[in-house]
């Protein structure tokens, strides 16, 4: 039986979906190169419940707490499940990493075993709150809601999410740590993930090609703006959390270029949204009015793009403002002049994030409209 045109499109998208599934399987299997078996050798990471706490050895110094909190833990997973042990929770006076447990809390527990006798425990330590359960629960709720509302498209969105996360974890981060040039590596991963996500969600068709071309142009332009602005702003790569930890770990990294790469990578999500929205709008206009030539489709795309740019730019501001809200509050509480605030490294970095991403949006929207108009209306214009 000969396939109808619509069936051919569905078949093409299903084949592409299977290919992406194969790529995901490959990414899951391949190692990052930084696996450390010694972290799990003679050491178990188990879930435990805090039964009792003893805070007598904790000292309050100003606003920080130091000392050792004594705990009684009941192991809830692994081969020692059901056993009760005394454990320690050491506080170093760093409020961003210290935690204080109370009875009933669930803790991620580190159980150290004797090298010669794996059945003998040499130490038990409460490392952090156990959050895996709630993380998995929320993820399942999100997946169920997305599938219920979007159906097959929601399934493709979930697959694209998994693919992007694996690309970052298995490809992008190892490339950075191994010393590859961050900007070309970041561009390559951004292009690959954007192409896969757009073609999965929009389909392997004119709509997907239109959105992909518009998104690529926006990512490239944002990268150029980030590189140029990064030199003007003179922001050190150590402005980001844990950057100094990488230096002390002995890795020779260009942190400033990694920071620049993070600017256009973080903006690529918004660029995908804008290009996909405009491509979908042009596709719908073409389906309703197939006789429209390229010029008219481009005009329509521009009209659609203007409010999209305005709203999405504000969305970027909201998204990034959450990252420096505490910094603003700290500066404001000290009465620091506004000129000092906006010239600080941390705030300047967030301003660069927002402006570079917004400038990419300004170019992505009209270029997507032009590409869409030419792809959908070329034959009409020629006639």
Q: Which residues contact 145 (CB under 8 A, 6 or more apart)?
A: none
Do 73 and 181 reside in the same domain of the chain?
no
Both tokens assigned to 283: 């596709």
Instruction: Establish if 5 belongs to a structural domain.
Output: no
CB neighbours of residue 238 within 10 Å: 15
Do 122 and 158 reside in the same domain of the chain?
no
Instruction: Quote the domain boundaries for residue 260.
Output: 152-382
The count of structural domains within the chain is: 2
Do 102 and 156 reside in the same domain of the chain?
no
Instruction: Establish if 10 belongs to a structural domain.
Output: no
Do 165 and 121 reside in the same domain of the chain?
no
pLDDT score of 7: 52
Do 112 and 160 reside in the same domain of the chain?
no
Do 240 and 201 reside in the same domain of the chain?
yes
Q: Are 47 and 118 in contact (CB under 8 A)?
A: no
CATH number of the domain enclosing 83:
2.40.50
Handedness of CA 366, 372, 375, 379 (dihedral sign): negative
Which pairing describes strands 106-113 and 121-129: parallel, antiparallel, or unpaired?
antiparallel
Do 284 and 181 reside in the same domain of the chain?
yes
Do 182 and 69 reside in the same domain of the chain?
no
pLDDT score of 1: 33
Round to whole Å and give the CA distance between 233 and 244. Answer: 20
Round to whole Å and give the CA distance between 294 and 302. Answer: 12
pLDDT score of 102: 92
Instruction: Establish if 13 belongs to a structural domain.
Output: no
The 3-state secondary structure of the chain, one letter per residue: CCCCHHHHHHHHHHHHHHHHHHHHHHHHHCCCCCCCHHHCCCEEEEEEEEEEEECCCEEEECCEEEEEEEEEEEECCCCCCCCEEEEEEEEECCCCCCCCCCCCCEEEEEEEECCCCCCCEEEEEEEEECCHHHHHHHHHHHHHHHHHHHCHHHHHHHHHHHHHHHHHHHHHHHHHHCCCCHHHHHHHHHHHHHHHHHHHHHCCCHHHHHHHHHHHHHHHHHHHHHHHHHHHHCCCHHHCCCHHHHHHCCCCCCHHHHHHHHHHHHHHHHHHHHHHHHHHHHHHHHHHCCCCCHHHHHHHHHHHHHHHHHHHHHHHHHHHHCCCHHHHHHHHHCCCCHHHHHCCHHHHHHHHHHHHHHHHHHHHHHHHHHHHHHHHHHHHHHC
Q: Which residue has the tokens 């500066």?
A: 331
Do 274 and 338 reside in the same domain of the chain?
yes
Round to whole Å and give the CA distance between 271 and 277. Answer: 10
The packing angle between helices 152-167 and 132-150, to 10°, is 140
Ranges of the chain whose pLDDT falls below 50: 1-6, 381, 383
Do 220 and 302 reside in the same domain of the chain?
yes
pLDDT score of 3: 36
Residues in the chain: 383
Instruction: Establish if 21 belongs to a structural domain.
Output: no
Kindly report, residue by residue over 75-117, the tens digit of the pLDDT. Answer: 999 889 999 999 988 888 787 788 899 999 999 999 988 888 8
Do 113 and 162 reside in the same domain of the chain?
no
Round to whole Å and give the CA distance between 44 and 110. Answer: 6
pLDDT score of 278: 93
pLDDT score of 6: 46
Q: Are 86 and 71 in contact (CB under 8 A)?
A: yes
Do 244 and 359 reside in the same domain of the chain?
yes
């Amino acid at each position: 039986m000969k396939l109808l045109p619509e069936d051919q499109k569905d078949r093409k998208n299903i084949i592409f979906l299977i290919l992406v599934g194969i790529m995901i399987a490959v990414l899951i299997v391949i190692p990052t190169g930084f696996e450390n078996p010694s972290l799990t050798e003679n050491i178990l990471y188990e879930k435990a419940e805090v039964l009792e706490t003893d805070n007598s050895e904790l000292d309050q110094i100003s606003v920080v707490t130091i000392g050792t909190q004594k705990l009684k833990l009941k192991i809830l997973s692994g081969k020692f499940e059901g056993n009760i042990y005394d454990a320690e929770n050491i506080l170093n006076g760093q409020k961003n990493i210290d935690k204080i447990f109370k009875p009933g809390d669930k803790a991620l527990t580190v159980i150290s075993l004797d090298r010669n006798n794996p059945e003998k425990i040499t130490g038990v330590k409460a490392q952090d709150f156990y959050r895996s359960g709630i993380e998995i629960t929320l993820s399942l709720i999100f997946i169920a809601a997305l599938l219920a509302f979007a159906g097959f498209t929601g399934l493709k969105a979930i697959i694209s999410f998994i693919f992007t996360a694996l690309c970052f974890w298995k490809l992008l981060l190892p490339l950075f740590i191994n010393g590859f040039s961050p900007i070309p590596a970041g561009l390559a991963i951004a292009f690959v993930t954007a192409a896969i996500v757009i073609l999965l969600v929009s389909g392997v068709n004119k709509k997907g090609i239109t959105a992909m071309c518009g998104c690529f142009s926006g990512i490239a332009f944002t990268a150029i703006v980030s590189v140029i602005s990064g030199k003007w702003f003179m922001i050190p790569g150590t402005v980001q959390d844990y950057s100094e930890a990488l230096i002390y770990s002995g890795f020779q990294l260009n942190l400033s270029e990694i920071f620049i790469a993070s600017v256009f990578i973080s903006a690529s999500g918004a660029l995908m949204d804008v290009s996909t929205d405009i491509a979908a709008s042009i596709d719908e206009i073409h389906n309703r009015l197939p006789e429209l030539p390229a010029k008219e489709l481009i005009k329509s795309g521009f009209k659609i793009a203007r409010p999209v740019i305005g709203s999405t730019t504000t969305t970027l501001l909201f998204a990034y403002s959450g990252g420096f809200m505490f910094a603003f509050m700290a500066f404001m509480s000290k009465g620091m002049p506004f000129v000092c605030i906006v010239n600080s490294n941390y705030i300047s970095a967030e301003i660069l994030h927002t402006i570079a991403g917004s400038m990419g949006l300004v170019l992505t929207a009209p270029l997507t409209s032009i590409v869409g108009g030419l792809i959908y209306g070329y034959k009409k214009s020629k006639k």
